Amino acid sequence: EADIYQTPRYLVIGTGKKITLECSQTMGHDKMYWYQQDPGMELHLIHYSYGVNSTEKGDLSSESTVSRIRTEHFPLTLESARPSHTSQYLCASSLPGEETQYFGPGTRLLVL
Amino acid sequence: AQSVTQLDSQVPVFEEAPVELRCNYSSSVSVYLFWYVQYPNQGLQLLLKYLSGSTLVKGINGFEAEFNKSQTSFHLRKPSVHISDTAEYFCAVSGLYGGYNKLIFGAGTRLAVHP
């Protein structure tokens, strides 16, 4: 079982603020993912990475950006938060060639 | 286009009763199938997965699922549920789409176990 951590777990912030959601994993997984999940809805992939210095946009268009400078770290940044960004953000990771993704506990973001 | 359909958005059931959560998928490529569970205010936890081999897959917490290729289904079952099984359950399909491995989720089924 992968150890994958997300901070903060909950964040309430005002419109226009810059925020960074942290995601770290200790299993040395090369692949990492960010999903957005609205209440009662399915998960939508917004970003993924296959390794250091590799980042790609997912299926759902997002104003957020990501970086992958270290294998274990995959932060997500919103330069200017808006109420439409209110959602839950889930980070996941997996090994190359392995289909199973392991999820962190998620960050619930509320933008006022 | 690939998709996952969870036929029931909510399933109420009494404790110790059996339950089946239905999942159908559509895909033109070979797929791997997963069930994840999400407890309130938590991330997703893997329940079980089908990659190949036996079509009956056993997972954690007494859950099992059966892969049916002809019906493109992967229904989740448990013979006797507990209050602690109350959660959101997500079916997902993984495959190689557009050059990269992709996990597509269904909309989820909320299982509510009543005493």
pLDDT over 90 (residue B92): yes
User: pLDDT tens digits, residue range B24-66?
Assistant: 998 766 678 999 999 987 889 999 999 888 899 999 999 999 9
Residue of A101, A105, A108 with shortest CB distance to B103: A101
Contacts of B105 in chain A (CB under 8 A): 42-43
Residue B52: the pLDDT is 85
Residue B22: the pLDDT is 97
Contacts of B60 in chain A (CB under 8 A): none
pLDDT over 90 (residue B1): no
Please state, in angstroms and as integers, the Cα–Cα distance from residue B70 to each residue in A110, B22, B24, B74, B95, following that order: 44, 15, 11, 11, 18
CA of B89 vs chain A CAs: smallest distance (Å): 10
pLDDT over 60 (residue A2): no
User: pLDDT tens digits, residue range A24-77?
Assistant: 999 889 999 999 998 878 889 999 999 999 999 888 888 899 999 999 999 999
Omega into A8 within 30° of 0, i.e. cis? yes
Q: What integer is the mean pLDDT of A3-27?
A: 95
Question: Please, which residues have CB within 8 angstroms of residue A72's CB and are 6 or more apart in sequence?
Answer: A24, A25, A26, A28
Contacts of A40 in chain B (CB under 8 A): 9, 108, 110
CB atoms within 10 A of CB B57: 21
Across the interface, do B46 and A104 touch by the CB < 8 Å criterion? no
Across the interface, do A103 and B101 touch by the CB < 8 Å criterion? no
Residue B3: the pLDDT is 84
pLDDT over 70 (residue A93): yes
Average pLDDT over chain A, rounded to an integer? 91
